[in-house]
Chain A
Amino acid sequence: MCNACGFPSAPGHWTDAGVDTPGDRLRMQFRRAQVLKKILSDYGLSARVDGQIPGIQLSTFTGSQVNLRDLEAVWKEAERQIGAPVDPLDPRFTGIAAEPVA
């Protein structure tokens, strides 16, 4: 936990498993930001990890920014801003037009 800001308040989201060295962790965070950026750009949002501030920074194209502790928080905030959850099975991601409605 960061001594200055107390972040993250809750430990270990499952998506943070899978790395056990600091180098791998940093690499994973950068790669994650890269993927998020690509996915979220369709929705007018962007994500950034700078290796200094813990967590993921989600920003809109107007510049407002929010720092989020894990991926679950990112999807929650994205839903709040977009008005619907980012669904990976959306035709824009799958390229399948007649996706069965869930």
Chain B
Amino acid sequence: MPQQGKDGRIRLTVLGGYLGSGKTTWLRHQLYEGVFGDAHIIVNEAAETPVDDALLAQHAGAMTVLAGGCVCCTGKADLIDALRSLCDQRSKQTSTGARLEQLVLETSGLADPAAIVTAIREDPVLVYHILVTEIIVAVDAANAIAQLSDEPLGRQQIEAADRLLLTKVDTVTTAGLSALVTTLKTLNPAAEFCAAVKGIDQPLHVDEGAAPIRLPAISGTDMRDPVVPVRIEIDPSTDWAAFSVWLSALLYARGTNIVRVKGVMNSPAGHLLLQAVRNSVQSPEILPKSASNYNNSIVFIGRGFTAEALEKSLLHFVG
């Protein structure tokens, strides 16, 4: 959906997923249906010869192709350059006319979406121009379990997602799909799920009680404990200054084990919406004052901590 940002920043949707998971197919159909409006599409391919742009070109309003390097690592500078020049062009337009409001970045199958979000946040120009609204990760329903079993990158992609898009769901049984969904929930309990076949959205019917498939531990990654969501309610008297000291220390020390932080926290300027992927925090958005029934509560998704430890530690910092 084309979203008009109140703060004037361009909304960026990141579309990731493993090689062959159906990213381009889905995006192509979404563009055909006009879901992203007149978004500018950025396509990244790790290979030197791009193919995806030819598939997308007929429905996309404008497109940039970044080939020959994955934008989360070797091609990061190219991505930053491309985004900066888009922001430059936009800044030269008048704010009254139609301006670029929505970007969609289709990553290569080898990209870690979290690394891209971090790169944008750490860029002193882009942080003022671009707001990452959603990370969608495509998951190949037929092959995901095999990929996740031996590919740490596949797990990182799942962990970074806001929304998991199950593709090729017509090729698997309901039982298989249910097992996949519960398995994915052990990796990323907070993500929303949706399904598609050949890019066309499908209703997702799964048996919530299905047993998750045990994924083998991958050497060299931190898969010792499953990722769990922990929610802590924060006393309204807790002040933002002390809280931000605490959270920044926590993310600095435990960033690799905290996959995600989401929550609302009161501050002198209003209620702040906090969002972090690993140890990279997006600049917090101030929520509208009208709906004032926010509670201070933060969800931590990760491993190696308990709600009790978090609460006691915060009390020590604030007290």
Contacts and interface: CB of A to CB of B under 8 A. Distances in A.
A32 B242 contact: yes
Contacts of A102: 254, 257, 303-305
B312 interface: yes
A21 B270 CA distance: 12
B200 interface: no
Nearest to A11: B124
Given A32-B244, A88-B249, A14 B283 contact: yes
A18 B309 contact: no
Nearest to A18: B267
B281 A96 contact: no
Interface in A54-100: 71-72, 75-76, 79, 85-89, 93-96, 99-100
Interface string A4-38: 00000011101101111100100111011001101
Among the interface residues A32, A76, A86, A88, which one has the most CB atoms of the partner chain B within 10 A? A88
B3 interface: no
A17 B281 CA distance: 11
B316 interface: yes
A93 B316 contact: yes
B239 interface: yes
A74 to B, nearest CB: 8
A7 B188 CA distance: 39
B245 A100 contact: no
Contacts of B240: 18-19, 28
A35 B317 contact: yes
Interface residues of B, number: 43
- A: interface residue count bin: 35 or more
B253 A88 contact: yes
Contact of B128 (A11, A31, A35): A11
A36 B317 CA distance: 8
A99 B307 CA distance: 11
Interface in B279-300: 281-284, 286
Contact of A89 (B247, B253, B268): B253
A88 B253 CA distance: 8
Contacts of A36: 245
A89 B269 contact: no
Contacts of A18: 240, 244, 265, 267-269, 272, 284
B74 interface: no
A89 B241 contact: no
B304 A101 contact: yes
Among the interface residues A31, A36, A94, which one has the most CB atoms of the partner chain B within 10 A? A94
B242 A100 contact: no
10 contacts: A14-B284, A28-B241, A32-B244, A87-B249, A88-B314, A89-B310, A93-B313, A96-B309, A100-B306, A102-B257
Interface of B: 124, 127-128, 225, 239-242, 244-250, 252-254, 257, 265, 267-269, 272, 274, 281-284, 286, 303-306, 308-310, 312-314, 316-318
